Amino acid sequence: MRGCAMKRLLLADRVKGRADSFLAPLIPALEQHYETRFIAAGPGAELAEAIAWADIVWLEWCWDHAVWATRDILPPGKPCLVRLHSIEALQTNYPERMNWSRVSQVITVGDDIRDILLPMIPDAVPIQVVPNGIDTTRFRPGTPNPYRIGWVGHLEPKKNPMLMMQIAHRLHQQDPRFSFHVAGAFTDLRTARYLRQMQAMLGMAGTVWFDGHVADMPAWYADKGILLSTSMYESFGMNIGEAMATGAFPVVHAFPGADRLWPTECLFASVDEAIALIQAARPGLYCDWVSQRYGLDRQVRTVLDLLRQMQPSRISAHPD
């Protein structure tokens, strides 16, 4: 039986469900090597039972479920991996509340967030950077139009859509052929009201299009010649890599750590620099670059190696 032959791996994501979890691209490969169980649960009986079931525990996000598990539930010696994104270190005190002695391995997706975390985590806990993997079988080169610019993300202050509106306005004054297409939900009323007012006041109703939540992102990316990212910070920037894989030329605001993730020649600090990059963009230029650097197969290999190293020398038997 499969369950008898395979070790049990728990994937516990506190923030996202299975379909939209950052773990989703990894799950098919993990299921080939482990009896895998995914739950989206906070502190409580469901998480406690799942941890007791598992041989290896993966806590996705250093959130309240990770604090509770490491302080109250995880037995000493049970292999536990925590993958930490940016929001936990930048906007919460969860890392400071963790019992890190119960954690076998920490993963971050970028060097900059690792550097932020180092003072918060004991030296004895290993930290490894494992960049996100781009599924290039799903995000394939499309037919990019150099005048169609994509912007992706929740419409909230930290994604800095205000800067996108200023770039759109300035570019439209110089060349009205360009259009901006926004994939993402309004998640902040203040930002929504501001952007709608700026769209009207700047005369951008026919230039900036708000497409809302998009279910089929590969299809949406297919005709975008440029991906504009104006975010104040990203631990990685999944939309940047996915767009590059489909052929969009990346134009990325130089957030801290961006130069260690993305081509430095694609980074901008000012509106004028962004416009110059857009006007000189070469769609399709970075398809191979992103596949070679961030292809999903690379992430899968690294994760499987880490999990193999974490496994204890003796796994206790579980009743079926």
Residue 10 near residue 81 (C-beta atoms within 8 A): no
pLDDT of residue 2: 45
pLDDT of residue 155: 97
pLDDT of residue 290: 97
pLDDT of residue 314: 46
51-73 core/surface letters (b: 16 or more CB in 10 A; e: else)? beebbbbbbbbbbebbbbbbeeb
Q: How far apart are CA 186 and CA 188, in angstroms?
A: 6
Residue 263 near residue 288 (C-beta atoms within 8 A): no
- Write down all domains in the chain, each with its CATH number in brackets: 2-133+295-310 (3.40.50.2000), 145-294 (3.40.50.2000)
pLDDT for 54-103, tens place per residue? Answer: 999 999 999 999 999 999 999 999 999 999 999 999 999 999 999 999 99
The number of residues making up the chain comes to 320
pLDDT of residue 262: 98
All residue ranges of the chain with pLDDT < 50 are: 1-3, 313-320
Residue 34 near residue 303 (C-beta atoms within 8 A): no
Residue 129 near residue 110 (C-beta atoms within 8 A): yes
